[in-house]
Amino acid sequence: MAPEILVSEVGPRDGLQSIKSILPTPAKKAWIAAEAAAGVREIEVGSFVPAKVLPQLADTAEIVAFAKTIPGLTVAVLVPNLRGAEAAIAAGADKLTLPLSVSETHSLANLRRTHAQVIEEARAIAALIAEQPEDRRPHFEGSLSTVFGCTLEGAIPLPQILGLAEQLMAAGCDEVGLSDTTGYADPRAVKDMVRAVRGAVGDEALTGIHLHNTRGLGLANVLAALEMGLDTVDSSLGGIGGCPFAPGASGNIVTEDLVFMLQAMGLKTGIDLAKLLEVRKIVAEALPDEPLYGFTPDAGLPLGFVPESHAPSMESAA
Amino acid sequence: MAPEILVSEVGPRDGLQSIKSILPTPAKKAWIAAEAAAGVREIEVGSFVPAKVLPQLADTAEIVAFAKTIPGLTVAVLVPNLRGAEAAIAAGADKLTLPLSVSETHSLANLRRTHAQVIEEARAIAALIAEQPEDRRPHFEGSLSTVFGCTLEGAIPLPQILGLAEQLMAAGCDEVGLSDTTGYADPRAVKDMVRAVRGAVGDEALTGIHLHNTRGLGLANVLAALEMGLDTVDSSLGGIGGCPFAPGASGNIVTEDLVFMLQAMGLKTGIDLAKLLEVRKIVAEALPDEPLYGFTPDAGLPLGFVPESHAPSMESAA
């Protein structure tokens, strides 16, 4: 198990795109700044999709520019295609994630693209990145979504998944990620999938996972992923969000509960848990109609719980 | 990891003792019968405490007698002392659990007894059991509660815990159990505690664990316990209940989510998950004012999920 875990906050993208309310730009900035101040080192701040598709994320370029002023923060964004990648690079994002749904039915419903078309976008994005000055090349991840099963197709054949992982790497991605879009994963499936995909693309090309808590197994699945050596876990403050194209599949892992688990286990996150819990207030006040989830915020911390000190080693790693 | 897991339903005891509503005796019987018919092989059906302390469980003797008519069901009860054990044995219970809070402060608040007094009760109960005809001797478990920390004392020193485990076994318990009364456990603590207690009393003397979901880590902690080889896990239908003496510590693991996780992982439970989900209706109708929890009941089963067949090998093990 890696001793230091990167908690990658996806609430400002995955959370906000799934709700009807639009979080005003100043509140987004306050959220991102507060969460970074609490020690979160990577935040997916938005998605470069047309504003008419996701008006909640129409201010992504402005949000990226703001987030880039926060020292040590990795500013991640989702890009559905080359056009989104162009905008992301122009805005100065540090990390681009291109989703590829291993279920082609879901891919067509979600991105309106076949697998071959998504791989072609990946190739074009990688070429665009290669054209950038060396110090301005963002990290590029291809995210294998619906990898633990799809609400439209059910289980996806493993050879198809491994083939797509290999094609993403061949197209020029720096790494692939696993995404349990539908909340179908279980701990054994997580271990089997990590082993299989690493077998196909190499250990260094798979370090992160995006899990949902749809059936209550979110943190058990995280534990399985950590035991396989992954060191990057996505989660959403207050558990908001999910995938709007996978019915009943809402429910990201709650960042607060995740960080509590990691710190209770003695793993380093670089996060000040008390400060993180305070960030909820910003989101709750700005989104009064949206429920926030999480057990740890309700229960409080155990008596005698020793929070992780803001370890200096994490600062330099950021 | 053991290939077959015993899910021990504690809702009719731990769940019902924590709520104000009193479930009528016929509804309790219907619940127990339906859950046994769904394949649950062990149910903690009540507690032999004075009716004025827990009026919700005043019908425990009648419930035990009813549950004993169900073939293959292990009828478990909680007993706080020798007097409770006498009543439990007279009623014909198959398994007695005596809680011993490793926090003496909590023990005094909960059972109004020092550690020495509880150990003395254990000795007297073991002697009483030994006096019974061989085919009528119930299994006797000493349950180490607040073992992962106490809301009054915080962490309990490990030597104190191990000493109490040894004393329970020396007093005549057949086994000890671990109980996360306060919801303080984390996966690493579970593994460390199982290893330490098994080191003190032997692997055969620790097979079961009672975990809460207070901070959302319930199923992650189950996974850790399974990975250490434990094969018996307590849970509560609809997640009702908790410990009334540990403020903020409500929240048993939800049986439905636990069974989904186990079956998704390919482990055998002998339980028909679709039938189990139907049992919620009985409890929901009889307790209209009590919330029922659970993610799997809301989300439904994954498309293509192959439920465990009711394996014949589980019948013979019951």
Q: What percent of chain A is modeled with pLDDT above 70? A: 94
Tokens describing residue A284:
């709750």
Angle at A95 (CA atoms; ends A117, A114), nearest 5 degrees: 10
| Pairwise CA distance, residues B77 & B75, whole Å | 7
Judged by a CB distance cut-off of 8 A, whether residue B238 touches chain A is no
CB contact under 8 A, A189 and B264: yes
Nearest to A219 among B182, B216, B298 (CB): B216
Residue to test with chain A: of B182, B295, B301, most A Cβ within 10 A: B295
Q: What is the reported pTM?
A: 0.94
Residues 6+ apart with CB under 8 A from B230: B2, B194, B206, B207, B208, B209
Proportion of chain B above pLDDT 90, given as a percent: 85
Distance of CA A316 to the CA centre of its chain: 22
Q: Show residues of chain B in contact with A261, CB under 8 Å.
A: 186-187, 215-217, 220
Nearest to A265 among B188, B260, B296 (CB): B188
Contacts of B180 in chain A (CB under 8 A): none
pLDDT of amino acid B240 = 85
Q: Is B150 a catalytic residue?
A: no
Asked if B219 lies within 8 A of A217 by C-beta distance, the reply is yes
CA distance B250 to B200: 30
Among B149, B264, B299, the residue with its CB nearest the CB of A304 is: B149
Nearest to B296 among A216, A298, A300 (CB): A216
Residue B305 pLDDT greater than 50, yes or no: yes
> B186 in contact with A at a CB cutoff of 8 Å?
yes
Per the CB < 8 Å rule, is B265 touching A150?
Answer: no
For B302, which of A149, A265, A299 is closest by C-beta distance?
Answer: A149
Distance of CA B193 to the CA centre of its chain: 18
Distance CA B51, CA B28 (A): 16
CA angle A142-A146-A147, nearest 5°?
Answer: 70
Strand-pairing partners, residue A143, are A99, A177
A133 contacts chain B (CB < 8 A): no
**CA-nearest residue of chain A to B148?**
A302
- Could you tell me the pLDDT band of residue B294, with boundaries at 50, 70 and 90? confident
Q: Give residues with Cβ within 8 angstroms of B116, minimum separation 6.
A: none
**Phi first, then psi: what are they for B210, rounded to 5°?**
-120, 110
Judged by a CB distance cut-off of 8 A, whether residue B233 touches chain A is: no
Give the start-end residues of each E strand in chain B: 6-9, 42-47, 74-78, 95-101, 139-145, 175-179, 206-210, 232-235
B264 at A interface, C-beta within 8 A = yes
Between the CA atoms of A246, B214, B254 and B24, what dihedral angle is there, to the nearest 10 degrees? Answer: -130
Question: Residue A222 above 60 pLDDT?
Answer: yes
- The whole-number pLDDT of residue B249 equals 47
Nearest to A193 by CA among A157, A168, A242, A239: A157
Which one of the listed residues A54, A128, A209, A243 is annotated catalytic? A243
Mutate to test the interface with B, among A1, A151, A186 (most CBs of B within 10 A): A186
Query: E strand or H helix at A151, and its extent?
Result: none
H helix runs in B202-307, sequence order: 218-227, 255-264, 273-286, 296-299
pLDDT higher than threshold 60 for residue B315: no
- The CA distance from B22 to B283, in Å, is 12
Q: How is residue B72 written in tokens?
A: 């293959």
Check CB contact of A3 with chain B, cutoff 8 Å: no
Residue-level pLDDT at A246: 46
Q: Could you tell me if A198 and A190 are in contact, meaning their C-beta atoms sit under 8 angstroms apart?
A: no
ipTM for the complex?
0.93
Q: Are A309 and A275 in contact (CB under 8 A)?
A: no
pLDDT higher at A177 or A252: A177
Tokens representing A306? 């020793």
A12-16, A47-51, B307-311: the lowest-pLDDT one: B307-311
Q: B29 pLDDT exceeds 90?
A: yes
Catalytic residue among B19, B88, B201, B243: B243
Check CB contact under 8 Å for B216 and A214. no
> What is the pLDDT, as a whole number, of residue A250?
59
Task: Report strand pairing: A95-101 vs A206-210.
Answer: unpaired
> Half-sphere exposure (CA, 13 Å, Cβ side) for A315?
7
